[in-house]
A and B are shown apart, each in its own frame.
Chain A
């Protein structure tokens, strides 16, 4: 009995995703008919072709990739240092910093769009990828510090102590013992930072107005346009393409991140 309910739930939950992919492969007449065709009878790739040949698709994919990779690379190096400080040392001001890192994550990003826009407009950094990267640090850094701190804390202390007793320097212990152990956590955190930056909408929306300077998320949001005859097939193909990197990465690290986010909560 419960199994039937469960399968029903599964069907309802994934239906929108199924419908997106199914539409993307359907020929035009099946997309536009009032009576839906559930599975694409004669699958076609023409919608993907149409989406890829829309103006600025590749430019905006490239912009997104640049923004995301620079953001993630810079954030990981800096956040790892801070995470080690918070997880492995006791010092005055530590608790204050932890409160700060958590507190920042609670604030809605939209609350800072006005001053960030004004500051970057004054510096002539609107319509520039650098400006966006800087603003993405506001949410990627605190999140990464917090998650990495959890992973660094999870490293068995005996291993570090053994390294210290062996006479390794602090830096040596860090590089030889800690870094390899924290690597999976680093990968998981980077992927999550990648996903949030790839999906980000509002900062990119206010900072990047010039065509050819936007991200793929903004590109997709403008796809609908104002015309009454939307090319739904191409829109669903473009949506699928935008979702693919996120879904792939997400499936890779989901388990680990869910743990990282909730470990504290469950422990309490």
Chain B
């Protein structure tokens, strides 16, 4: 990180000088104070409280009495010895890898397609992508419910008409696997626009002469992509992949609502749902806090790399 400061161009430092001199002393701290105070109260305190709760037996009874009972690491022991927890971790990892792979893969293909189509088609696709991007998740869930409903879902009709098979009265939510697959289709559909548009922006930075030169030399399209295009868009892909991993690992709304609360059961838990059901729904806040800490620890490990990258990027001003 020190290298980022050293590589800051000289002119940039000189231009910053005026403000630096002006800003000596308390001014920046004064400007930050309100945000720091509020974040301290609404994030700092809950994080402190999270740790405390995780060490207590704390249910609805204790909530009403305003007093928990310290039981050491018992909650963590309960969670770590719960086979449902480990199955949920594994299921969430597989779910995340699948979703991220599909979103990044298809998103990149769409971006590559955007480069190749003519202007009006590009505008058409981009508008479509933005429209999809703008859909509120809960609305998207309801549309999915409608399109895949058992009685007359339009997806059943289209697939039957296309002779993919007989999907008349097909139940898309019969097994945990099919339930989570439907969640995946929804997550990928919602995630594609951000990926495609961002990768497309990155592709526009690839020098056209380089690609042409490689093509004239007779390189096949896939080699041009991996040897010429890929190195230039790699930083963007890296950030998008990390962001998608974090988002997909924490998915709650779409899975909870599309599978539907009555059908939620340990066999289709994702991490966030496990936490919600065991902690909030069963009023076992102590154990819920332990689950939260374990989940946050997993996410924090994942995000260290990303935060570093973004701090570096953000520091080159």
Contacts and interface: CB of A to CB of B under 8 A. Distances in A.
Interface string A72-104: 000000110110111111110011011110111
Contacts of A164: 18, 22
B300 to A, nearest CB: 8
Contacts of A264: 310, 313-314
Nearest to A164: B18
6 contacts: A16-B147, A106-B303, A115-B289, A149-B314, A201-B137, A250-B134
A250 B113 contact: no
Contact of B280 (A79, A87, A161, A206): A206
B86 to A, nearest CB: 19
Contact count band on A: 35 or more
A117 interface: yes
B257 interface: yes
Contacts of B280: 113-114, 117, 206
Interface of A: 2-3, 5-7, 9-10, 13-14, 16-17, 19-20, 23, 32-36, 78-79, 81-82, 84-91, 94-95, 97-100, 102-104, 106-119, 121-122, 134-135, 137-138, 141-142, 145, 149, 153, 157, 160-161, 164, 170, 195, 198-199, 201-202, 206, 217, 220-221, 223-224, 226, 230, 232, 235-236, 239, 242-243, 246-247, 250-251, 254, 258, 261-262, 264-268
Given A19-B143, A149-B314, A246-B136, 18 more contacts: A9-B113, A13-B125, A14-B131, A16-B143, A17-B131, A35-B157, A81-B34, A82-B32, A98-B315, A107-B300, A108-B272, A121-B63, A145-B35, A202-B272, A247-B131, A254-B133, A258-B201, A268-B312
Contacts of A251: 130-131, 134
Nearest to A201: B253
Contacts of B32: 81-82, 85-86, 97
B42 A34 contact: no
B220 interface: no
A81 B15 CA distance: 21
B118 A3 contact: yes
A110 B275 contact: yes
Contacts of B276: 110, 113, 202, 206
Interface stretch (B45-53, B170-178, B211-219): B45-53
B239 A265 contact: yes
Nearest to A13: B128
For A223, A232, A235, A239, the residue with the greatest tally of chain B CB atoms inside 10 Å of its CB is: A239
A104 B27 contact: no
Interface stretch (B77-85, B97-105, B222-230, B244-252): B244-252
A251 B295 CA distance: 35
The 3 A-B residue pairs with the shortest CB-CB distance, nearest first, are: A108-B250, A250-B134, A85-B31
Contacts of B135: 16-17, 243, 246-247
B38 A247 contact: no
B163 interface: no
Contacts of A145: 35
A82 B35 contact: yes
For A97, A98, A119, A266, the residue with the greatest tally of chain B CB atoms inside 10 Å of its CB is: A266
For B19, B135, B139, B296, the residue with the greatest tally of chain A CB atoms inside 10 Å of its CB is: B139
A254 to B, nearest CB: 5
Interface string B181-209: 00000000100101001100110010000
A35 B253 CA distance: 31
A30 B311 CA distance: 54
Contacts of B93: none
Contact of B146 (A113, A160, A201, A236): A236
